[in-house]
Amino acid sequence: MTTSAETLLDRVSVPGGRPIPDAATGEIIGYAARGTVADLDAAVARARAAQPAWAALSAGERGAALHAAAAAVEARAEELAALVSREQGKPLNGPGARLEVGACQGWLHANADLDVPTEVLVDDADNHSELLYKPVGVVGAIGPWNWPQMICVWQIAPALKMGNAVVVKPSEYTPLSVQALVCVINEVLPADVLQVVSGGREVGAAMSAHAGFGKLMFTGSTRTGQAIVRASADHLTRLTLELGGNDAGIVLPGTDLGKHVDNLFWGAFINTGQTCAALKRLYVHESQYEDAVQILAAKAAGTPMGVGLVEENLLGPLQNPMQFAVVSRLVDDARERGARIVTGGEPAPELGANFYRATIVADATDGMPVVDEEQFGPVLPIVRYADVEDAIASANRLDAGLGASVWSDDAAAAREVALRLEAGTVWINKHGGIHPSVPFGGVKGSGYGLEFGVEGLKSVGVPQVITSR
């Protein structure tokens, strides 16, 4: 247990480790362990040794441990939120760092109470067959830098509930906040059931090809997901891949834009646009196009941006210089191609490191990189359409298929369009909302496998059929 004077950062920062900067100021906030492939091998060996005893507990006992873990996270919530705000850049408030830590608590509690019931498939005079799920053994969880704590819990909570041990590899950009979270959770878990190996790409590559994992879970880019598929093929390791998105939204004619402006804006700009399932291209009917552009531009210009620990700020920086360069390139290219930058469209260096102003790009068209590529930043291109059929075709034409949304005051019309969109989740009159009991996953280039709810538990289990008579 920690002492009252000992901070979580004290516990996870390693003297001589790799320096980790504050995303907003560039100040060094701590030092991450330089994990190696040998460290990974040792962690997997310990996990394999600890897993059988954990699996031997009842589902209720493992659930109680997850409830206790959620309570431990709640007790250190403000400290965890401040650390993820500094390391990742997201503000404390709005859909920010405090929301992220709250989601960690919510997902731990929700998975604690979930179970996969044994399903009777056939029960007659000749055959009684049941389908059940057993642990896979050790789950490898490879996390991203955009929601480092929350997505870590999305991976570890169901894996632990199903009786698996877990080895986590956080992003090299945000290792400290994940190590701090795991440190808190481990206050209530048996030794070695949950471990972190902080390292670079070589550790991630070794995880992908490691024979010791029964399951790998990855959230990140499509390119890296494809590499994991190739590297894991020799061992036929089970995979859940939540990959890149380029989510489309379609505003149907006659929609009351003022009623939906907040949901539209935060659907796109949550976490300063650094969310896989954020709204990344918006198709608006020509009859309302300019109204939508101006309403969203006003919202973007009026939303406070700055250092995350300042309470009034709601938008933060890009997490790293690499992503800042991507956003700058896409906006500059759109300007050169004749798109209209209605607000934003430039860096904000006076705010700190890697800040880019919230940007609305009007007169964007399919084929522009700002539309066709995932911006993963505070940029929303708005595309004009004349016919709903054209908007549906545009939404479906890219390989991405994580999420999509339809905006309309006509529920029947919205559902009809939603059913035709090629995405794992389609929201109506909102975008990006998730629930721990509602399955979530992508199609096409956005990956495969489901997370959350009973389907998420099944994904970290191995099905077995028992047949008798």
pLDDT tens per residue across all 469 residues of the chain:
444 468 999 999 999 999 999 999 999 999 999 999 999 999 999 999 999 999 999 999 999 999 999 999 999 999 999 999 999 999 999 999 999 999 999 999 999 999 999 999 999 999 999 999 999 999 999 999 999 999 999 999 999 999 999 999 999 999 999 999 999 999 999 999 999 999 999 999 999 999 999 999 999 999 999 999 999 999 999 999 999 999 999 999 999 999 999 999 999 999 999 999 999 999 999 999 999 999 999 999 999 999 999 999 999 999 999 999 999 999 999 999 999 999 999 999 999 999 999 999 999 999 999 999 999 999 999 999 999 999 999 999 999 999 999 999 999 999 999 999 999 999 999 999 999 999 999 999 999 999 999 999 999 999 999 999 8
**Token code pair at residue 366:** 């399919």
State phi, psi for 293 to the nearest 5 degrees. -60, -50
Closest CA to 203 of 36, 14, 32: 36
Q: Are strands 215-219 and 238-242 parallel, antiparallel or unpaired?
A: parallel
Euclidean distance between CA atoms 333 and 5, whole angstroms: 51
Q: What is the dotted CATH code of the domain comprising 8-243+443-468?
A: 3.40.605.10
- The predicted pLDDT at position 161 comes to 98
Q: Where in the chain is the domain with CATH 3.40.605.10?
A: 8-243+443-468
- The predicted pLDDT at position 171 comes to 97
Euclidean distance between CA atoms 160 and 95, whole angstroms: 27
- The predicted pLDDT at position 52 comes to 98
Closest CA to 351 of 303, 302, 306: 306
Euclidean distance between CA atoms 278 and 150, whole angstroms: 16
Closest CA to 114 of 149, 150, 162, 70: 162
Euclidean distance between CA atoms 22 and 212, whole angstroms: 35
Euclidean distance between CA atoms 95 and 101, whole angstroms: 11
List the 279-285 sheet strands across, edge first: 340-343, 359-364, 379-385, 279-285, 247-251, 403-407, 425-428
Q: What is the dotted CATH code of the domain comprising 247-428?
A: 3.40.309.10
Predicted TM-score of the model (pTM):
0.96
Contact 87, 20 (CB under 8 A): yes
Return the number of other C-beta atoms located less than 10 Å from residue 118's C-beta: 11
- The predicted pLDDT at position 469 comes to 87
Amino acid identity at 428: I
Instruction: Give the catalytic positions in this structure.
Output: 242, 276
Cross-strand pairs, 133: 463
Cross-strand pairs, 240: 217
- The predicted pLDDT at position 1 comes to 43
Closest CA to 159 of 176, 177, 130, 182: 182
Q: Are strands 215-219 and 138-142 parallel, antiparallel or unpaired?
A: parallel
Q: Are strands 247-251 and 403-407 parallel, antiparallel or unpaired?
A: parallel
Q: Where in the chain is the domain with CATH 3.40.309.10?
A: 247-428
- The predicted pLDDT at position 5 comes to 64
